[in-house]
Amino acid sequence: MTADDFRALALALPDVDEGAHMGKADFRTGKRIFASLPSQTVGVVLLTPEQQRVVVGTAPSMFVPVKGGWGDKGATQVVLEKVTVARARDALKLAWSNRAKPPKPARARRRTM
């Protein structure tokens, strides 16, 4: 997978915009970052710590916790040369769902009598 492939997968999710943070590409839903592309060889997805344990545990050559505090909170590197499209898509969807605003419930209409 290339950086452009990762970008395309992120941008294919609903209501996603590409921005930049500290000079690196990031992907947002609303104004909330859920993934970034810090280099041409690594993407990053913002998972929960539990999601990170599952993803890294099932594919340790494809996913690596970010070092330090961000990694402790679930930030996970995606090794682009090793990750499959399906695994990258699944990780991006998880990260997106963690940051996406839930839909507003429909407002009840008042009945007039």
Measured distance CA(21)–CA(13) in Å, rounded: 20
Mean pLDDT of 29-58: 96
Q: What is the reported pLDDT for 20?
A: 93
User: What percentage of the chain has pLDDT greater than the value 70?
Assistant: 89
Rounded to 5 degrees, φ, ψ at 25 are -65, 140
Which pairs count as long-range contacts for 20-28, CB under 8 Å and 24+ apart, including other chains? Answer: 27/92, 28/99
Give the pLDDT band of residue 101 (cuts 50, 70, 90).
confident
Task: Taking each helix axis as running N to C, give the angle between helix 85-99 and helix 49-58, from 0 to 180 degrees, rounded to the nearest 10.
Answer: 180
Contacts of 54 (CB under 8 A, 6+ apart): none
Note the pLDDT of residue 113.
55
Residues 61-73 pLDDT 10s? 999 999 999 999 9
Between residues 79 and 111, the one the model is more confident about: 79
Query: For the chain, which residues make up each domain, given as ranges?
Result: 3-99
Beta bridge partners of 17: 28
104 pLDDT higher than 70: no
Can you give the pTM of this predicted structure?
0.88
Give the DSSP per-residue string, 70-105.
HHHTTEEEEETTT--HHHHHHHHHHHHHHHSPPPPP
- pLDDT band per the 50, 70, 90 thresholds, residue 2: very high
CATH number of 3-99: 3.90.1150.30
